[in-house]
């Protein structure tokens, strides 16, 4: 009897997932209609849409494993109703994203962009015109203190930074907790965003938010693109309210060109901070392990639908 089929939804390197699936399932990186119809599981990339229609094409699916944590494009409610586990991989990219945040902060605070241009363009004599800041002794405001936010805090403290954290969903430790978001914004030299996107958090960073920021603050968003109103950010940057902006995420992706992108104090990356070489390998391996766990009747390490349980457990609960 052939092994069950697990398919890729999006681009997935087979070498990174076959290990955990060995002996459990055959992996199909470029599935056709028949492969989808037979699939018991799928490795889902960030740009793959898994809606009701997609699920209809996979009637035998038991598990979707997202390479990352965002499930904005996955109909988790419908998947749960069909008994499908939605695996996420929150630990694999946390360190990489946190390093990306500090990397962007360093680039913007140390003014690497304009200083690089001075040397390239033979403007050495103008170097005193570019104020170079410090991370040590500055305050970083972390909005969203989950796995990534906490890791950012650890790295920031290693640079000698003071840390404040605000999280409307889970209270940070007393040593860093700042329940008043406006207070955090008003005191932070660097603001970094790590909240999930929802109706309540969409355009959290808007004109009103930016009116409260400490003049000259740096804003970094490696969380969700929809957390930020780009028009408001551009106005704050032009007015000098912000001194620099780092963006790794956009809404939608890829983004349409925005005038903010042309500003010399804006640093842009294409949603890759969580996909370093090591993190990318880990997230695929973790996703594949989640699929293997479900197929073996085990509960995966992390789920977007934590109410899901293995069929064996569900049967026990109904007895």
Please give the positions annotated as active site: 224, 253, 271
d(CA 199, CA 201): 6
């Amino acid at each position: 009897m052939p092994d069950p089929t697990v398919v890729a939804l999006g681009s997935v390197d087979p070498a990174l997932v076959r290990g955990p699936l060995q002996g459990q399932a055959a992996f199909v990186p470029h599935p056709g209609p028949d492969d989808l119809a037979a699939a018991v599981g799928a490795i889902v990339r960030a740009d793959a849409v898994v809606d009701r229609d997609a699920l209809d094409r996979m009637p035998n699916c038991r598990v979707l494993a997202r390479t990352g944590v965002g499930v904005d494009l996955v109909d988790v409610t419908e998947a749960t109703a069909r008994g499908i586990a939605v695996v996420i991989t929150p630990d694999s990219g946390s360190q990489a994203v946190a390093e990306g945040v500090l990397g962007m902060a360093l680039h913007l605070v140390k003014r690497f962009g304009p200083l690089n241009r001075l040397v390239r363009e033979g403007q050495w004599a103008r170097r005193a015109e570019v104020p170079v800041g410090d991370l040590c002794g500055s305050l970083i405001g972390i909005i969203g203190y989950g796995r990534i936010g906490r890791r950012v805090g650890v790295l920031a403290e290693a640079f000698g930074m003071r840390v404040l954290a605000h999280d409307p969903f889970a209270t940070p430790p007393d040593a860093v907790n700042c329940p008043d978001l406006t207070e955090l914004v008003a005191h932070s030299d660097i603001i970094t965003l790590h909240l999930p996107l929802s109706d309540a958090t969409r355009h959290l960073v808007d004109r009103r938010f930016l009116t409260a920021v400490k003049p000259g603050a740096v804003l970094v968003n490696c969380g969700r693109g929809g957390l930020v109103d780009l028009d408001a950010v551009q106005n704050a940057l032009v007015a000098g309210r912000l001194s620099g902006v780092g963006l790794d995420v956009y809404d939608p992706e890829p983004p349409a060109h925005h005038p903010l992108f042309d500003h010399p104090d804006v640093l842009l990356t294409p949603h890759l901070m969580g996909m370093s070489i090591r993190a990318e390998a880990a997230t695929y391996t973790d996703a594949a392990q989640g699929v293997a766990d479900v197929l073996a009747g085990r509960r995966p390490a992390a789920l977007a639908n934590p109410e899901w349980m293995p069929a064996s457990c569900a049967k026990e609960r109904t007895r």
